[in-house]
């Protein structure tokens, strides 16, 4: 599996860089994990958006879905023979229903009690703790390599088991360590601790804030991750799992 960061900010794009979106490639299949603001432009540096095989959405907040609509327009204009599958949950049926556009895209539901297969990849889902229904993803390839994406969430015990042994953990790390209490995202202490407790091989901190230096976020996360190597997401970062 090859992961390419297309956007990594939480909330809104900043300084020409978009919000959450990752290009995942495996066995010739190309898919987007989330499709936030600015992601489609970044994707076009690597491929035609109409050559995608699938999109998988963690939830329907705009910083994870803002470019879905324009992606649908592009597919509609391309007059492709087969619609683009867009996977999403049905806990918000109004937003889920908008994933289907005739002659362009087809919404496909997932849930957290049975895995789905997209190409050679197995996707498992875990509902996270967030103001709206959101789902973490555990993605396993045919060789047993594992990518875990927390999506948006605050810390809860179930994340450790879900992320256990992952080759790469992409963690929602929207706050520095001094932001505590009730919140909708992980801070650097929680992201680093999650990586350590789950015994992952590598941690990528993403969904980063615009107002805190990335180096500060990286150093804090690494302190709590201890022996687990940590990298901060940046546009164009590629990690081969």
Q: What is the DSSP letter of 83?
A: P
CA pair distance 46, 43, nearest whole angstrom: 6
Which residues make beta-bridge pairs with 240? 2
Provide the whole-model pTM.
Answer: 0.97
Give mean pLDDT, residues 42-65: 98
Looking at residue 137, its pLDDT comes to: 98
The number of C-alpha atoms within 13 Å of 33 and in the hemisphere containing its C-beta is 27
Helices (H), 57-197: 62-65, 68-78, 93-97, 158-163, 188-197
Instruction: Give SS3 for 61.
Output: coil
The pLDDT confidence band at residue 212, using thresholds 50, 70 and 90, is very high
Task: Tell me phi and psi for residue 158, to 5 degrees.
Answer: -60, -20
Looking at residue 164, its pLDDT comes to: 98
CATH number of 2-240: 3.60.15.10
Closest residue by Cα to residue 121 from 3, 57, 25, 204: 25
**What digits encode the pLDDT tens for the residues 181-204?**
999 999 999 999 999 999 999 999
The H or E element containing residue 39 is helix 39-43
Looking at residue 57, its pLDDT comes to: 98
Q: How far is CA 49 from the centre of its chain?
A: 17
Instruction: Give SS3 for 23.
Output: strand
Strand-pair category, 230-232 with 203-206: parallel
**What digits encode the pLDDT tens for the residues 121-172?**
999 999 999 999 999 999 999 999 999 999 999 999 999 999 999 999 999 9
CA pair distance 210, 10, nearest whole angstrom: 8
């Amino acid at each position: 599996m090859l992961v390419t960061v297309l956007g990594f900010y939480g909330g809104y794009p900043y300084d020409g860089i978009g919000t959450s979106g990752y290009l995942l490639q495996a066995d010739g299949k190309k898919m987007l994990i989330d499709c936030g603001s600015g992601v489609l432009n970044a994707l076009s540096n690597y491929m035609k958006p109409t050559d995608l095989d699938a999109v998988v959405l963690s939830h329907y907040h705009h910083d994870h879905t803002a470019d879905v609509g324009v992606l649908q327009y592009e597919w509609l204009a391309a007059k492709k023979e087969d619609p683009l599958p867009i996977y999403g949950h049905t806990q918000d049926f109004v937003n889920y229903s908008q994933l289907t556009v005739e002659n362009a895209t087809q919404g496909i539901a997932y849930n957290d009690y049975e895995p789905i297969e997209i190409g050679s990849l197995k996707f498992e889902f875990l509902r996270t703790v967030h103001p709206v229904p959101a789902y973490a993803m555990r993605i396993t390839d045919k060789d047993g390599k594992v990518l875990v994406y927390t999506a948006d969430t605050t810390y809860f015990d179930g994340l450790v088991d879900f992320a256990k042994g992952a080759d790469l953990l992409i963690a929602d790390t929207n706050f520095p360590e001094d932001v505590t209490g009730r919140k909708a995202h992980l801070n650097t202490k929680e992201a680093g601790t999650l990586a350590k407790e789950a015994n992952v091989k590598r941690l990528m901190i993403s969904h980063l804030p615009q107002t805190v230096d990335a180096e500060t976020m990286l150093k804090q996360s690494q302190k709590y991750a201890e022996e687990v190597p940590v990298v901060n997401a940046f546009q164009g970062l590629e990690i081969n799992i």
